[in-house]
Amino acid sequence: MLRRRRPRRRGFTLMEVLLVMVILVILGSLAVGVFTGTRDRANIDAATAQIGLIKSQIDLYNLNMNAYPSTLDDLLQVPSEAANPKKWAGPYIEALRPDPWGNEYQFAAPGEHNPNSFDFWSYGPDGTDGTDDDIGNWESSSL
């Protein structure tokens, strides 16, 4: 009695390989969608945190100098128009870095949103001033 041997499979068929590739592409596209939203939220949170930190340094400047800075450069070096430069206790920040989207932060004293103090804000993800995605110190949820 001779037994018939079945031929051994040596690899995957083209259909099996294509099926695995389709599954991997679907999983990859789902992961990209999830991580894209996470990155956007992380950038917004980073800008909110930076605004909070610099806002506190602007307030400290106001305590020392009895006035808000005229520009953000006043936080880095003694302002030339300061009435009493000896009150300046800075530098209040090491450097003014751009927001997470690469734009400069904006500053106005007195502010439009805070007429008795100052406005400090980022243009947000769209890089345009005055839109709904601007992130500023006037937002109660951000600071």
The pLDDT assigned to 11 comes to 75
Q: CB neighbours of 72 closer than 8 A, spacing ≥ 6? A: 54, 96, 105, 107
Look up the CATH superfamily of 37-136: Glycoprotein, Type 4 Pilin (3.30.700.10)
Q: How does pLDDT run across 72-85, given as a tens digit for each residue? A: 999 999 988 878 88
pTM metric for this prediction:
0.69
List the domain boundaries for the chain: 37-136
C-beta separation of 137 from 116 below 8 A: no
122 within 8 A of 136, measured Cβ to Cβ = yes
